[in-house]
Chains A and B, each alone.
Chain A
Amino acid sequence: MAAVVTRDIVKTFGEVPAVNGISLNVPNGEFMVLLGPSGCGKTTFLRIICGLERQTSGDLLIGGDLVNDMPPRARGVAMMFQSYGLYPHFTVRNNIAFPLKTQGIPGAEISKKVEWASQLLGIGHLLDRRPRQLSGGERQRVALARALVRQPTALLLDEPLSNLDAKLRTSARQEIKQFQQRVGVTTIYVTHDQVEAMGMGDRIAVIDRGQVRQVGTPSEIYNDPADRFVATFVGAPPMNIVARNGGYLGFRPENFLPKDMVKDMVKDAAFTEFQFRVDRSEYLGSERIVYGVLEGFDTNEVVTAKLPPVHVAEAWIRPGEWHPFAVRDAALRHFGNDGKRTSRH
């Protein structure tokens, strides 16, 4: 296990920059999530770390050693691919043993380690099967066992849950996180799914167009977004952004509530009031999402409110009606014209 440090990594394909100067410090044992939209360069960055791509410029250090010119096999990192990349002509046992065989480890030790990894992931009964005979969840565990069996310096995961159905994804998320905590391996996890990022990461690096927009804990990313991109990329529905006084005002849909509710909640604290015209509402069971516009603001700026349905009856919010809504001042975020945060509140 080792820390992974990148310094100003740039990667261009022809004229097109895929990674545009990423500097990141992942301390030993941390679970770092790289979050960003498709095509933002996060997978390319991961492939640079494991050595499958060579960066155009910048330095990469693993465990304090400069590994720019080292081939993948010498870096000691393990990677789990989106499609798992299991070897279809090998049994599960041979799949897990493969990284050890290439290192020339003696047979008896290989058996012991394969046993350890398969027990750890609960796949001991699958060792003599081939990948095509396994379910999606089982394949994912085999891929994880193969990645971990040689106790890598860092574990790199490239959207490993995207091939699983929604239900399995929730349990697999839990398993990977618990497993990482138990083994304590430095992990870099790439995803475009903010739920995975928020639920699993010790820290999240939000990436857009090959650049890191913000690095922070899930709560920092959610509550104190560094810019408008992070504010609108993280959160479902995303943060409301409306233009005001030459800048932008942002507030989360769950903080945009009927004025009376806000009054009851905040007691003496300050709040900002808005007149909200309801255009449409969606009942989602645990919450009600209401879409509309604010009086005095651009009518193209759709504003969303996330309301607790037990407190807000459907009869109360009919399309076309105007209602007094409010946001606690502490929950308001201000952004400048360039999209960056201008103040904490």
Chain B
Amino acid sequence: MRRSSLVGVLQETSFYGAVAFFFVLAAFPFYWMLITSFKTNADLYNVNVTPFWFHDPPTLEHFRYLFDKTLFATWLLNSLIIGVCVTAITLVTALPAAYSLARMTGRNGEALGIGIFLTYLVPPTLLFLPLSRVIVDLGLQNSLWSLVVVYPTFTIPFCTWLLMGFFKALPVEIEEAAIVDGCSLFGAFVKMAIPLSLPGILTVVIFTFTLTLQEFVYALTFISAADQKPITLGVATDLVRGDVFFWGEIMAGALIASVPVAIAYNLFLDRFIGGITGGAVK
């Protein structure tokens, strides 16, 4: 009896121990970013105190610096413009592509879908060389619009593959019923397939937006003008001068950029998980 209760306690402890370990692993970088962005510089660089909590009262000086002394608001707006445009381009392209691959190409569709997905795996460090020629030919060098052109090259393949799983999971009878009831094929796609794939579309929106927000290599390659930079590039290049890192400002910038995404993830968490798994197993 005592032995079995001891085993129970050990099981509970190891379970919660494991949960606590992964929680700390996931949450610590965010926590570090949070407290760093509100610490005074004196507190931040004081090596004689434990760095995990405030020793001076919290301050907003890093946020003020960001908005008063840098182009942070412009970078934020640039990231937003790039994110919205790339998401729109990805949806407009990936939705019909995924639908036709899922419904109209039979077994070949599966192979084509995997083929398209494989292009997502080509690293940007290889692709930026040929893409830089394309950007120059289009006259988009040193402009945020170069990223609007380049980012869909990796968002569309992945999102097409993701949405294919969604469309396959939809009962085909619903679209066929709509076709018999008077819709064209395109009408059935717009009125039935799209509304019923909303969790998948939401997943694509969050995924695309997050990818564009965190992308660095292409931004660094194609843009050097400060007022054209997205937030990742602006924060990393203009807040690191020589070997001086403006840690408070860098973390404040990262915090502002990540909080809206974190809120969006949490609001749609259930649908997002449904989106990822629905696309994965079907």
Contacts and interface: CB of A to CB of B under 8 A. Distances in A.
Interface string B166-204: 000001011011111111100100001001100000000
Interface residues of B, number: 16
Contact of B173 (A72, A77, A78, A85): A85
Interface residues of A, number: 23
Interface of B is mostly: helix
Given A79-B177, A85-B173, A85-B174, A73 B182 contact: yes
A88 B183 contact: no
Contact of B174 (A77, A79, A82, A87): A87
Contact of B182 (A50, A87, A88, A99): A99
B245 to A, nearest CB: 51
Contacts of A82: 173
Given A85-B171, A102-B181, A102-B183, A52 B196 contact: no
Interface string A62-105: 00000000011100011101111111110000000011001100
Nearest to B192: A87
A146 B180 contact: no
A51 interface: yes
Contacts of B171: 83, 85
Nearest to B174: A85
A98 B178 contact: yes
A51 B183 CA distance: 12
Contacts of B181: 73, 78, 98-99, 102, 146
Interface string A44-61: 000000111000000000
Contacts of B174: 85-88
Contacts of B173: 81-85
Contacts of B192: 87
A250 to B, nearest CB: 39
A318 to B, nearest CB: 52
A98 B173 CA distance: 15
**7 closest pairs, A vs B, by CB?**
A102-B182, A85-B177, A85-B173, A99-B181, A73-B182, A81-B173, A79-B180
